[in-house]
A and B are shown apart, each in its own frame.
Chain A
Amino acid sequence: MVLINQHSVILRQLFQVEGNYRLSILGVGTTDGAPIPSFAGGFIKKAGNVIVAKLNVGTLRKIAANNGGSYQTLSADDRDIDNLLAGMDSLLTNSTRETDRSFDLWDDQGYWLVLLLLPVLLLSFRKGSVVVILIAPLLFTAQPVEALEWQDLWQTPDQQASEAMKAEDF
């Protein structure tokens, strides 16, 4: 541990930082405590006994206060974070300030044009319109040919004759 502390101190001397660092603590757990789940299933043990991690709110609160920060116990809503952030704002008013950077972020809204195409797409699923689209060119080219009749498109003359016989339409 001494080594690491020294590392920190040397770094500060190198950068000549007279740091103003604060420690806030977010406590997780309950004062009753709970075992820590382990990877293999079961719980983490020490010398055969299950370790029960208890939250010592008083100690943590004192440590945070001694180091310029505040303490909150983890809550299900945003209260814990809001309270912690409220305490942190005061630090940023000195020489360092929070930078709010704004920049253009193009938001492509082009996909809304798809809505305009939707009615056309829906219509194209109707049987009738498909037929119309398919047949329209045929009708236009067919006009000069006088012998072409509607029935000729679907049945050969032999088939038409067979139908006529069945219907006794002589």
Chain B
Amino acid sequence: MIVYGGDSHTVSPLTEDSNTIMSMVPVLEPNLMPETGSNVEEGLASAIDLAVSGGYQQADILLITDGIDKSALSNIAPIISGRR
């Protein structure tokens, strides 16, 4: 689980223990983030990094968001596909 605002932070690494992640969700709130913002690219890059360094060649990333900044739109596909 990764949270992002102006920057991104890994809350929990890849795990099969979903209870651990569930226990962390209630304490998450926007003001925990040191930087406000919507840096979705960094969040997604961190997610890919987790999968890659975990040795997973396939992964589903679930982005929970209220919106993506216009300037970020064109950056997303290259991050997910690894092509740029």
A positions within 8 Å CB-CB of B: 1, 4-5, 7-9, 11-12, 15, 17-29, 36-39, 44, 53-56, 59-60, 63, 66-69, 74, 84, 88, 91-92, 94-96, 101
Contacts and interface: CB of A to CB of B under 8 A. Distances in A.
Interface string B33-49: 00010010110110011
Contacts, number: 133
A25 B62 contact: yes
Contacts of A28: 64-66
B24 interface: no
Contacts of A95: 57-58
Nearest to A84: B62
Given A19-B56, A101-B16, 13 more contacts: A1-B42, A5-B78, A19-B57, A24-B60, A24-B63, A28-B65, A38-B31, A53-B67, A55-B67, A56-B67, A60-B68, A67-B76, A88-B60
Nearest to A38: B31
Contacts of B76: 23, 63, 66-67
Q: Which 7 A-B pairs have the closest CB atoms?
A: A39-B31, A29-B66, A53-B66, A67-B80, A26-B64, A4-B45, A20-B58
Contacts of B21: none
Contacts of B53: 11, 15
Given A24-B63, A91-B58, A95-B57, A8 B52 contact: yes
B35 to A, nearest CB: 12
Contacts of A37: 30
B11 interface: no
Given A9-B82, A21-B51, A66 B66 contact: no
A69 B57 CA distance: 16
